[in-house]
Amino acid sequence: MNLEFSAEDNAFRDEVRAFIEQNYPESLRAVQEEGEEMGKEDFLAWHRILANKGWVAPAWPTEYGGPGWTSVQRYIWSEECARADTVPILPFGINMVGPVIYTFGTPEQKAKFLPKTLNGDIWWCQGYSEPGAGSDLANLKTKAERDGDFYIVNGQKTWTTMAQHADWGFFLVRTDPTAKIQEGISFLLIDMKSPGVTVRPIITLGGEHEVNEVWLENVRVPVENRIFQENKGWTCAKFLLAHERTGIAGVARSKRGIDRIKSMARTESEDGTPLIRDSFFKRKIAELEIDLTSLEYTELRTLASESAGKGPGPESSLLKIKGTEIQQRITELALEAAGHYGMPFFRGFPEDGSNLPIGPDAAHRTAPTYFNMRKTSIYGGSNEIQRNIISKMVLGL
C-alpha cells in the first residue's frame, strides 16, 4: 500500500501540465468564459492539437495511435486537463466506438475509421436509445434487412448527442426479429450523409440543443460497415457500455467544480459575511469534498486493479452513480450560492441597450447548468439501472 505517486509519475505530471499551458488555445478560453454553447470547431480545436501530439486517445493501444500511458498516467492526464479546465474531448469516437472498432473490427475497418477518428475528421454520434428502448435498451426496434451487399435500415433513434455535427454514427439495429431479444442485434456504422437519415433537434430544459432524434428511412448501409458478426452486436454494446462508465466518475472535473463554488462563496455575502464563512454553507462544501475524496480513492483502487490486468467490471456502476450525484450536487450548490442572480435567463432575449450588469459572472447560467445536469443520473444507464447492475452482478441478488 502506497499513496504516493512515483518520481516518474510526477515528472509526467510536470510534462503534461507544461504542454497544456503552452498549447491550449486562447480563443477557446474566451468561448468557455462566455458560457454559451460551443460550435463544432470549438470542440475540435483542442482535439486536433492533442491528435498531433499523439495524446488524444490515452487509453488506446499504441499500435492504433495511443500514447502508451499507464492507467496512473491516464489518471494524471485527466486531472491536469480538469485543473486547466480544458474543453473535454468528445467521448463518442475516442472512448466509445474507437475501442469497439479496434477490438472487434476487421483490418479494413480499422484502417478506414481509426486514423480519422483520432485526428478529428470523423465526428461520431451514438445511435442507441429509441423512444421505446431507454433503460430497456435491448428492446430496440430499428430494423436492418439484408438486400445483397446492403442493409436497408428503418427506425428512429433518440437522445442522440451532438448528432447535428456528426459525420458518422454507430447504431444498434435489429437484424433478426425472431431471435431472443438480445441475440438479434447488430452493430452498424452509418454515414450520416446517407439518403434517408434525418436529424431533428430536441431542446432541453436549459434551452440547449445537445440531443436529437435521428430518423432512418430506407437507409442503405453496406454490409462491410457492420462491426463483428451479424446478430452479435449486443457483445459490442455491452463492451462499449462498460467503457462508457469508466471515466464517468469525473473526479478531476468535480474537484474543479468545488473550487469554483469556493470562489463564489468567497465573494457572495450575506450580512457582510462571505458564504464561505457561513456554517451551513461551509458544511455542505466540506461534505461534498469528503464524498468526492471517497469516490477518488475508490476510482484509484479500480485503476490499480485495471493495471493489474482486470478490465472494468460492474463496480464501475458505483463510479457512475456516485460521480453523477456529486456532479449534480455541485450545480445545486452553485445555484444556491448565486442567490437572486440564479434567476436571470439571458438566451434569446434582445439586448435593450442599457448597460446595467445582470449579476456577477459566476452566477451566469447556474440555473440552466443545474437543470442540464439532471441528465447525468438518467443517461448512460440511469442510476436506478446501475443499482440493479450492482445488485445482480456484484451482490448476486
Contacting positions for another protein (CB under 8 A): 129, 132, 134-136, 139, 158-159, 202-207, 211, 268-272, 278, 280-281, 332, 335-336, 339-346, 348-349, 352, 354-359, 367-368, 370-371, 374-375, 377-379, 382, 384, 387
Q: What is the DSSP code (8-state) at residue 163?
A: G
Please name the amino acid found at residue 156: Q
CA 51, 122, 242, 54: dihedral to nearest 10 degrees? -10
Signed CA dihedral, 202, 126, 69, 245: sign only: positive
CA distance 50 to 362: 29
Nearer to another protein, 11 or 393 (CB): 393
Cβ at position 295, least distance to another protein in Å: 20
Closest separation between CB of residue 347 and another protein, Å? 8
Residue with Cβ nearer another protein (154 or 382): 382
d(CA 298, CA 312): 13
Taking residue 225's Cβ as centre, other Cβ atoms within 10 Å add up to 19
Q: Decide whether 252 or 363 has the Cβ nearer to another protein.
A: 363
Q: Is the dihedral of CA 60, 63, 66, 70 positive or negative?
A: positive
Rounded to 10°, the helix 233-245/316-338 angle is: 50
CB of 369 to another protein, least distance (A): 10
Least distance from another protein to the Cβ atom of residue 359, Å:
7
CB distance 170 to 187 below 8 Å: yes
- Of the chain, the end-to-end C-alpha distance in Å amounts to 32
* Residue 218 C-beta: closest distance to another protein, Å: 26
- CA nearest to 102, candidates 167, 57, 153: 57
Nearer to another protein, 254 or 324 (CB): 324
Q: How far is the CB of 104 from another protein (least distance, A)?
A: 27
Do 303 and 72 touch, CB atoms closer than 8 A?
yes
Q: Which is nearer to another protein, 195 or 357 (CB)?
A: 357
CB of 10 to another protein, least distance (A): 41
Q: How far is the CB of 31 from another protein (least distance, A)?
A: 22
In degrees, rounded to 5, the angle at the alpha carbon of residue 213 between the alpha carbons of residues 243 and 143 is 75
Specify the residue, 305 or 388, whose C-beta has the smaller distance to another protein: 388
Q: Tell me whether residue 98 or residue 380 sits nearer to another protein (CB atom).
A: 380
Cβ distance to another protein smaller for residue 54 or 360:
360
Length of the chain: 397
Minimum Å gap between C-beta 155 and another protein is 17
Q: How far is residue 221 CA from its own chain's centroid? A: 27
For the chain, give the longest Cα–Cα distance. 75
Question: Cα-Cα-Cα-Cα dihedral of 153, 211, 378, 298, to 10°?
Answer: 100
Taking the least distance from each CB to another protein, the nearer of 147 and 361 is: 361
- Closest CB to another protein among 35 and 311? 35
Cβ of residue 131: shortest distance to another protein, in angstroms? Answer: 9
> What gap in Å lies between CA 104 and CA 257, rounded to an integer?
37
The residue among 339, 315, 205 whose CA lies nearest residue 265 is: 339
